């Protein structure tokens, strides 16, 4: 399934049915009088959040959505059926914007939330409604009101407990594959990850949701590389896991580069809890790893740990550590 986090769609609620101008025409009834029924209400369009969705790809090829029209009223005071409502499913974390793509209308943060995006038109009144002591045979009736129609934008901001950030090829996808059931593409070249990947890690009968964000190269907040497209997906993460390749020549510069991109996009990202993970420790000798960890951890506010995705014990420790951060 392809990942799509922004889409523009058109929604049109159903028009209301027209009222009926009918009169009774029955044998042996001399003064039949009006018996026109009301029109049915037009269908309403709802947006509903679903947990089992993580992309807006369903709206890539179907961008026009219309609810059912109300049925016209008829004789014998019969009211027309209401139009069928339309429910559009969206992932949790979807934001609804007006046509300008700037004015926020609604934000889905929980499963099962519903939002009326377009109300159906009211049904028209039949001529029976206008009968009075002075007007015994009214021919007046009203037409159904048109349903609301809008052009809206849907934007998805992934909701996860932990957002995994770092430079390209730091091992983010390998980590996600090691501690969750996710199967991201893994290869030894930059920008292997082209879309955010979600995974769920289980530990101590509890679950942690992790989001693997494509690599943040220098200038990502200005549109360089792929980062600018996906930085919004870590805005709602409770904790950031900053993954660094321990074999990099300048770990301090690598760390600051990613932090600068996060801060340039939004200062709020720098306020989130952070755990720094020095990855690929299996490529170095144990003593060398200890020395690097000692030097890099000096005068640092965030906790620094080491990781080898080939070591099951190391993976379990990371799971336990993450659970303590998000609980």
Binding-site members are 166-173, 191-195, 212-215, 279-282, 308-310
Inter-axis angle of helices 251-265 and 286-297, nearest 10: 50
Which residue ranges are tagged as binding site for Mg(2+)? 173, 193
Which residue ranges are tagged as binding site for GTP? 166-173, 191-195, 212-215, 279-282, 308-310
Assess contact for 190 and 168: CB atoms under 8 A.
yes
Q: Are strands 64-66 and 197-203 parallel, antiparallel or unpaired?
A: unpaired
> SS3 letters for the chain?
CCCCCEEEEEEECCCCCCCCCCECCCCCCCCCCECCCCCCCCCCEEEEEECCCCCCHHHCCCCEEECCCCCCCECCCECCCCCCCEEEEEECCEEEECCCCCCEEEECCCCCCEEEEECCCCCCCCHHHHCCCCCCCCCCCCCCCCCCEEEEEEEECCCCCEEEECCCCCCHHHHHHHHCCCCCCCCCCCCCCCCCEEEEEEECCEEEEEEECCCCCCCHHHCCCCHHHHHHHHCCCCEEEEEEECCCCCHHHHHHHHHHHHHHHCHHHHHCEEEEEEECHHHCCHHHHHHHHHHHHCCCCCEEEECCCCCHHHHHHHHHHHHHHHC
CB-based burial of residue 234 (10 Å sphere; 0-12 exposed, 13-18 middle, 19+ buried)?
A: buried
Q: Based on C-alpha coordinates, what's the Rg of the chain?
A: 29
């Amino acid at each position: 399934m392809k990942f799509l986090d922004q889409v523009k769609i058109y929604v049109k609620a159903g028009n209301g049915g027209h009222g009926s101008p009918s009169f009774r025409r029955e044998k042996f009834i001399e003064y039949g009088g009006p018996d026109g029924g009301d029109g049915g209400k037009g269908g309403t369009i709802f947006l509903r959040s679903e947990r089992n969705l993580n992309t807006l790809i369903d709206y890539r090829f179907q961008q026009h959505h219309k609810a059912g029209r109300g049925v016209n009223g008829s004789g014998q005071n019969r009211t027309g059926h209401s139009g069928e409502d339309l429910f559009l499913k969206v992932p949790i974390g979807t934001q609804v914007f007006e046509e300008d793509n700037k004015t926020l209308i609604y934000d889905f943060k929980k499963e099962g939330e519903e939002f009326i995006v377009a109300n159906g038109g009211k049904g028209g009144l039949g001529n029976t409604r206008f009968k009075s002591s002075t007007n015994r045979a009214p021919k007046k009736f009203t037409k159904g009101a048109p349903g609301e129609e809008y052009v809206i934008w849907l934007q998805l901001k992934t909701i996860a407990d932990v957002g995994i950030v770092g430079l390209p090829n730091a091992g983010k996808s390998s980590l996600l594959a090691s501690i969750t059931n996710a199967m991201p593409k893994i290869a030894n070249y930059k920008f292997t990850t082209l879309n955010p990947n979600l995974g769920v890690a289980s530990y101590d009968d509890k679950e942690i949701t992790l989001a693997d964000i494509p690599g943040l190269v220098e200038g990502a907040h200005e549109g360089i590389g792929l980062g600018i497209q996906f930085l919004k997906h870590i805005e709602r993460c409770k904790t950031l896991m900053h993954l660094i390749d321990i074999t990099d020549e300048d770990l301090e510069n690598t760390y600051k580069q990613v932090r600068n991109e996060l801060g340039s996009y939004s200062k709020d990202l720098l306020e989130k809890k952070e755990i720094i993970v020095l990855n690929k420790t299996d490529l170095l000798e144990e003593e060398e790893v200890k020395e690097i960890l000692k030097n890099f951890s000096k005068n640092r506010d965030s906790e620094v740990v080491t990781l080898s995705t080939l070591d099951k014990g190391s993976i379990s420790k990371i799971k336990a550590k993450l659970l303590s951060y998000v609980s």
